[in-house]
């Protein structure tokens, strides 16, 4: 029994079960929020019958789709088929071929019966009452008469082809009428019968129906029909109690702001499938393209924002424009907490789901998808050192939104009638939406940072303030460590910017990486000289000293948690030494105990190794700054040698194995460190000391304040005196 209970417990607590449960919970909750408006429709409509009177709260103009479509079909049915001319030369060639064949039959030296038989094969005269006369004329008339008949037949055929022969003419046996009606002048009765018989053999329809052109003509005719519109004035009843809900009334309800989906299991299942597919698409994108944001805190933030926005959409008053929906705020928050690419994908997917679930117009969907592209570009250019830049970004988003919405409505006005008041109203709403969204986002940043333990660039800027309590404490209790952290932060920021990492994060992480030394500040050499005390490690054995020194990353994390620093800063504290060797105390232990009694593993930091570019930069910068500071007036060559030595040691010790730094990145970091450290270590000319000596030598009282010009003249005089 205990085994069964343990297995059930293990199943429900496994990571896979938790993830599936979270997915199902979110999709069910999201479906419920989107479907909430449908419950209201169910309260007023039952089985297609209105349960109460519904009054228009504003003037509504609704297209009677059924009547309009019926009229359009009637107009289309009255459009005559479009005819196109076929190849006339084929018909004329048949007549010429017939003439040549008859001439050949006439020339043959055979019996008349044979010629008649061949002529019967060439011409079908079985139903012609003048068959004998026609065959006799064709075989026995002189050549001139025969050529004259064919010439007149050709002229008649030209007239007939110009007027055109349709398939209906051909089917109705109107050929004889067409031939007689188009017969050329000066034709005898004898020739008429022969010409008619000949042309009946070759004439076929030369006008055929162009199906494509006919279809276009019918569509144009349908589009020319103006829609039938029904207007409900403010105060008119859209529905009476007990009235069947027709398509027209449904459209009126939809325009009045009611959701006209009827709630049933089929509809609810369809909405759930839509939500589930949208969620899986977002998670799939994150898995394949943004894997670092698949952590629970980022997914939880995305889920909460999505549900809040859907809830706002569901709670919008009936008939209120969806252009006020704060999608830009959603986009801004997602961009800052994750990145603009993730924000773009999530906003587009959410817009599509809301457009279908809330029955928003397709114009709304197009407008916000285009606005999302603009927002992604605009947000990526924010300077996070100035909070007002976010308000300016909201203003730019609002301007872009007005241009997009106005352009869509102008195109729509070319096709259908659109209310100018509605255009102006939606443009104003979407402009205010952009500005208010930026203000809302700015206000929500601290809340979400606290809830989800995600630091934003704005939060980093606050942590970089030297008036932060922890930094002030470091400044007074461990001034040497504080100064060292400032120098390291400059190195980290410059290197991170040079290789495309996050310079703000690198700088702030460097500020706090050594806060663990606050627990025992006097055990670290950079603080001992400031307080003027003897090194306490001289009285400790190397193993105990190692324990004190290597404990400061762990102590730092405890202090960071106490002061509420975000988890991303914890990584800098824990990883800046990686699993490196405390070589000074290791070498001391080897001297005292012998190499065979000391293992390197006993003198290493507990790690972990740096796993981001920023923490890897900090590891190198921390060691480089300490090493260069220990030298007195180092030359540029010595600085470069120290940098190279430390980097090679870290590489050989595999301390950078888990970081994404490339060899090119390391090369750029080394060059950046060299440039910064040379600037820090420059020599100064001792102007003040020379001046003081000269003043003392000549017993001149040094003035407390000199004008720049007087001071410059005095220096020149002293220099000239020295030369003399």
What DSSP string runs through 463-521? HT-TTSHHHHHHHHH-HHHHHHHHHHHHHHHHHHHHHTS-HHHHHHHHHHTTGGGGSSG
Positions of E strands within 345-454? none
Distance CA 176, CA 610 (A): 99
Give the mean model confidence (pLDDT) for residues 551-559: 94
Residue 10 predicted with pLDDT over 70: no
pLDDT given at position 259: 59
Q: Which of 83, 80, 79 is nearest to 210 (CA)?
A: 83
Crossing angle of helices 663-680 and 479-499, rounded to 10°: 130
One of 1.10.1760, 1.10.287, 3.40.50, 1.10.3470 is the CATH number of 265-454, namely 1.10.1760
Distance CA 28, CA 32 (A): 6
Spatial neighbors of 43 by CB under 8 A, at least 6 apart, are: 51
Residue 6 predicted with pLDDT over 60: no
Burial class (CB in 10 A: 0-12, 13-18, 19+), 183: buried
Residue-wise pLDDT for 313-324, tens only, equals 988 876 678 899
Mean per-residue pLDDT of the chain: 82
- Decide: pTM greater than 0.85: no
For the chain, give every domain's residue range: 49-64+234-258, 83-209, 265-454, 459-581+608-680, 687-723
Token pair 């193993």: residue: 543
Token pair 């026609």: residue: 134
pLDDT given at position 84: 67
Residue-wise pLDDT for 425-438, tens only, equals 889 999 999 999 99
401: left (phi over 0), alpha (psi -120 to 50) or beta: alpha
Q: Which helix (H) or strand (E) holds 263?
A: none
Give the mean model confidence (pLDDT) for residues 302-312: 94
Positions of E strands within 185-236? 207-209, 229-232
DSSP character string of 587-616:
HHHHHHH-GGG--GGGGB-------SHHHH
Greater pLDDT, 714 or 271: 271
The answer to whether the CB of 334 falls within 8 A of the CB of 298 is no
Greater pLDDT, 13 or 349: 349
Residue-wise pLDDT for 689-706, tens only, equals 454 454 455 444 444 443
Helices (H), 45-111: 65-77, 88-107
Encode burial over 647-667: b for 16+ CB neighbours within 10 A, e otherwise. Answer: beebeebebbebbebeeebbe
Spatial neighbors of 506 by CB under 8 A, at least 6 apart, are: 489, 492, 493, 495, 496, 614, 617, 618
What class does CATH assign to 459-581+608-680?
mainly alpha
Please give the DSSP secondary-structure letter assigned to residue 61: E
Distance CA 441, CA 327 (A): 11
pLDDT given at position 133: 79
pLDDT given at position 724: 47
């Amino acid at each position: 029994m205990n085994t069964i209970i343990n297995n059930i417990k293990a199943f429900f607590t496994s990571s896979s079960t938790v993830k599936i449960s979270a997915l199902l919970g979110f999709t069910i909750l999201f479906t419920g929020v989107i479907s909430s408006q449908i419950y209201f429709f169910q309260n007023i409509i039952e089985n297609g019958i209105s349960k109460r009177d519904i009054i228009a709260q504003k003037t509504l103009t609704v297209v009677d789709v059924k009547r309009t479509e019926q009229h359009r079909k009637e107009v289309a049915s009255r459009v005559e088929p479009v005819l196109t001319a076929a190849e006339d030369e084929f018909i004329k060639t048949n007549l010429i071929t017939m003439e040549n064949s008859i001439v050949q039959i006439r020339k043959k030296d055979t019996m008349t019966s044979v010629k008649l038989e061949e002529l019967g094969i060439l011409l079908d005269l079985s139903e012609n009452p003048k068959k004998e006369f026609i065959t006799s004329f064709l075989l026995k008339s002189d050549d001139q008469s025969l050529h004259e008949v064919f010439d007149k037949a050709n002229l008649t055929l030209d007239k007939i082809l110009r007027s055109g022969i349709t398939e209906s003419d051909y089917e109705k046996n109107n050929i004889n009428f067409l031939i007689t009606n188009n017969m050329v002048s000066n034709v005898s009765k004898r020739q008429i019968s022969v010409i008619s018989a000949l042309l009946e053999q070759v004439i076929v329809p030369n006008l055929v129906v162009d199906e494509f052109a006919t279809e276009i003509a019918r569509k144009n005719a349908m589009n020319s029909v103006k829609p039938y519109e029904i207007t409900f004035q403010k105060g008119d009843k859209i529905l009476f109690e007990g009235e069947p809900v027709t398509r027209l009334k449904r459209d009126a309800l939809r325009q009045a702001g009611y959701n006209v989906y009827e709630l049933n299991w089929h509809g609810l299942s369809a909405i759930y499938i839509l939500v589930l597919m949208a969620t899986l698409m977002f998670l799939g994108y994150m898995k394949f393209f943004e894997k670092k944001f698949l952590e629970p805190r980022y997914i939880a933030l995305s889920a909460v924002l999505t549900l809040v926005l859907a809830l706002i959409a569901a709670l919008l008053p009936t008939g209120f424009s969806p252009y006020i929906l704060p999608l830009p705020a959603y986009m801004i928050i997602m961009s800052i907490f994750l990145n603009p690419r993730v924000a773009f994908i999530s906003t587009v997917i959410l817009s599509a789901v809301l457009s279908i679930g809330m029955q928003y117009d397709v114009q709304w969907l197009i407008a916000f998808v285009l606005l999302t592209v603009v927002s992604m570009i605009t947000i990526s250019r924010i300077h996070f050192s100035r909070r007002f830049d976010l308000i300016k970004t909201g203003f730019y988003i609002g301007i872009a939104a007005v241009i997009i919405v106005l352009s869509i409505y102008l195109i729509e006005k070319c096709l259908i009638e659109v209310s100018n008041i509605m255009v102006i109203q939606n443009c104003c709403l979407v402009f205010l939406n952009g500005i208010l969204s930026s203000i809302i986002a700015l206000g929500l940043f601290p809340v979400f940072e606290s809830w989800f333990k995600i630091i934003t660039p704005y939060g980093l800027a606050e942590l970089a303030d030297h008036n932060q309590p922890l930094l002030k404490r470091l400044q007074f209790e461990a001034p040497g460590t504080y100064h060292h952290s400032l120098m390291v932060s400059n190195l980290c920021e410059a290197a991170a910017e040079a290789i495309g990492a996050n310079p703000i994060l690198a700088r702030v992480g460097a500020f706090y990486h050594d806060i663990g030394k606050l627990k025992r500040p006097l055990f670290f050499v950079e603080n001992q000289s400031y307080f003027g005390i003897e090194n306490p490690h001289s009285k400790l054995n190397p193993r105990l000293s190692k324990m004190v020194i290597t404990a400061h990353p762990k102590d730092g994390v405890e202090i960071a948690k106490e002061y509420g620093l975000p988890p991303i800063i914890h990584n800098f504290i824990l990883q800046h030494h990686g699993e490196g060797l405390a070589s000074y105390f290791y070498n001391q232990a080897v001297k005292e105990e012998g190499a065979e009694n000391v293992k390197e593993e006993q003198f290493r930091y507990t790690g972990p190794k740096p796993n981001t570019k920023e923490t890897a930069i900090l590891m190198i910068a921390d060691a480089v700054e300490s090493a260069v500071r220990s030298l007195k007036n180092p030359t540029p060559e010595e600085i470069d040698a120290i940098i190279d030595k430390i980097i090679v040691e870290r590489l050989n010790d595999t301390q950078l194995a888990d970081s994404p730094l490339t060899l090119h990145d390391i090369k750029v970091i080394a060059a950046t460190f060299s440039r910064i450290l040379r600037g820090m270590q420059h020599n100064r000319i001792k102007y003040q000391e020379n001046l003081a000596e000269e003043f003392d030598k000549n017993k001149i009282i040094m003035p407390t304040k000199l004008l720049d010009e007087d001071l410059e003249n005095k220096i020149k005089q002293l220099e000239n005196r020295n030369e003399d």
